[in-house]
Amino acid sequence: MGIFGREQFEDDEDEAGIHMKSLGRALVIWTTMNFGKKQTVAEAAEAFNTTPDIIREAIDEAMWICYGGPDDDPTKQIIELDGE
């Protein structure tokens, strides 16, 4: 299972995975469903079984979501929805 970036993949490829844009949408939904509890980049990485770098990239690609906090510590980078 891979995470695909901006490039498309062919339907007949054996690779299974998700596009970065789709992961970003899933993060928006996940964050919304956990509204009221501050979610961190590290918690999202654990929930989605990936790395903090992938979570940050997906957030950067997504709309209505961002993160803030120290650049070097995903356990302190809080995920926020636009308009909070």
pTM reported for the whole predicted model:
0.80
Strand, coil or helix: what is 19? strand
Nearest to 58 by CA among 7, 23, 12: 23
Please, which pLDDT band fits residue 82 given cuts at 50, 70 and 90? confident
- pLDDT over 70, % of the chain: 77
Count of domains forming the chain:
1
Q: Decide if 17 is inside a domain.
A: no
Q: Decide if 6 is inside a domain.
A: no
- Cα–Cα distance for residue pair 28/9, rounded to 1 Å: 24
Residue of 10 and 31 predicted with greater confidence: 31
Mean pLDDT (the chain, rounded): 83
Q: Decide if 82 is inside a domain.
A: yes
Q: Decide if 55 is inside a domain.
A: yes
Mention every residue, 6+ apart, whose C-beta is less than 8 A from residue 6.
20
Mention every residue, 6+ apart, whose C-beta is less than 8 A from residue 63.
24, 28, 82
Q: Decide if 79 is inside a domain.
A: yes
Q: Decide if 4 is inside a domain.
A: no
Q: Decide if 63 is inside a domain.
A: yes
Structural domain including 79 reads 41-84
Per-residue confidence (pLDDT) for residue 58, from 0 to 100: 93
Alpha helices in 1-84 (DSSP H): 20-33, 41-47, 52-61
Please, which pLDDT band fits residue 25 given cuts at 50, 70 and 90? very high
Q: Decide if 34 is inside a domain.
A: no
- pLDDT over 90, % of the chain: 54
Q: Read off the pLDDT of each residue in 54-79 and give the average, rounded to a whole number.
A: 92
